[in-house]
Amino acid sequence: MFYLIGLGLFDEKDVTVRGMEVIKNCSRVYLESYTSILMVGKERLEAFYGREIILADRDMVETESDAILEGAAQQDVALLIVGDPLGATTHTDIILRAREMHIPTQVVHNASIMNAVGATGLQLYNFGQAVSIPFWTENWKPDSWLARIEENYKLGLHTLVLLDIKVKEQSEENLLRGRKLYEPPRYMSPTVALSQIISAIETARSTSSESSAITLSSEGSLAITLSRVGSSTQKLVAGTLAELASQPQETFGDPLHAMVVVGKRLHPLEIDYAGVWAVDRESWVRVAREVYGVKD
């Protein structure tokens, strides 16, 4: 049997009882180590689970999955995934590969940022498409995600914004030269994400033929940042895009981070709940009433 086991959001103790039982009975245990990361190291996991853990990087999971699946038709093999196993298409792909090889599969679910974002007080059924924002470079500044945020916003839906992480990434020079040298890990901060979002909004406004094409604005759109969700040091910060962008980076807490761009359909209870984390509560309520049309 090939198992995909969700580890939850924070540390080794977030695994479910069922997941723990499976891990202890597997002949091999891999840890997917690039779509997200736990906030503790592999050694903590090994000590808690009582099993050796093999790190599986992007190359192994995406192009060398046969090595992971080897023998899984005759013995139990597990791939551990931070959050929930089906939160990324990479993991559905490896299930399809297992099926092609006639290997039975089972998924052990767990909490992920997709549902833990409810910590903001925003109702989960009012969330639209989630988006991922990659690090921009000098010559590469993709902004297709802005259209999805705008679409959600106009429909009144909140947008979960997943911030880029770079683990075991090569520089352009090393990639071109074929050198297996990797850059230090990088985790996008809300400061960087807000800068890119505001820049993309301003560019879209300046190049759009219709003034109403982009309704998002730095002064009139609300957002909430999240840090280390599910941990004892979890931190949320709320405000307009402009207010959040003006905060020093340490305001947002330590990585990992995510964000929510608040949609136009808001309930007063959502504003009250999230207002406790507002940079300026008076401004938070004013924008909610005047721009979002929230009634008391």
Per-domain residue ranges of the chain: 2-111, 114-290
Give the 3-state secondary structure of residue 109. Answer: coil
Per-residue pLDDT for the chain (296 aa), expressed as one digit of tens each? 999 999 999 999 999 999 999 999 999 999 987 777 888 888 999 999 999 999 988 778 777 888 999 999 999 999 999 999 998 777 888 999 999 999 999 999 999 999 999 999 999 999 999 999 999 988 899 999 999 999 999 999 999 999 998 876 656 666 666 666 666 678 999 999 999 999 999 999 888 665 457 899 999 999 999 999 999 999 999 999 999 999 999 999 999 999 999 999 999 999 999 999 999 999 999 999 999 999 87
Identify the pLDDT of residue 183: 66
Are the beta carbons of 29 and 54 closer than 8 angstroms?
A: yes
Q: How far apart are CA 77 and CA 67, in angstroms?
A: 11
> In the structure encoding, which two tokens stand for residue 131, read together?
């988006």
pLDDT at position 17 is: 97
Query: How far apart (Å, rounded) are the C-alpha atoms in residues 10 and 228?
Result: 7
Residue numbers in the known binding site for S-adenosyl-L-methionine are 9, 84, 87, 112-113, 163, 229, 257
pTM: 0.91
* C-alpha span between 258 and 246 (Å, rounded): 17
Q: What number of other Cβ atoms are within 10 A of residue 95's Cβ?
A: 18
Give how far Cα 263 sits from Cα of 1, 128, 143, Å.
42, 9, 19
pLDDT digits (tens, 9 = 90+) for 230-255: 999 999 999 999 999 999 999 999 99
User: Hey, what CATH topology would domain 2-111 get?
Assistant: Cobalt-precorrin-4 Transmethylase; domain 1 (3.40.1010)
Q: What is the pLDDT of residues 101-134, one digit of tens each?
A: 999 999 999 999 999 999 999 999 999 999 999 9
CATH number belonging to domain 114-290: 3.30.950.10
Q: Which two tokens stand for residue 240?
A: 């307009």
| Structure-block tokens of residue 57 | 């990087």
User: Which residue, among 3, 176, 140, 145, has the nearest Cα to 81 in the 3D structure?
Assistant: 3
Q: Residues annotated in the binding site, as ranges?
A: 9, 84, 87, 112-113, 163, 229, 257
Burial class (CB in 10 A: 0-12, 13-18, 19+), 187: middle
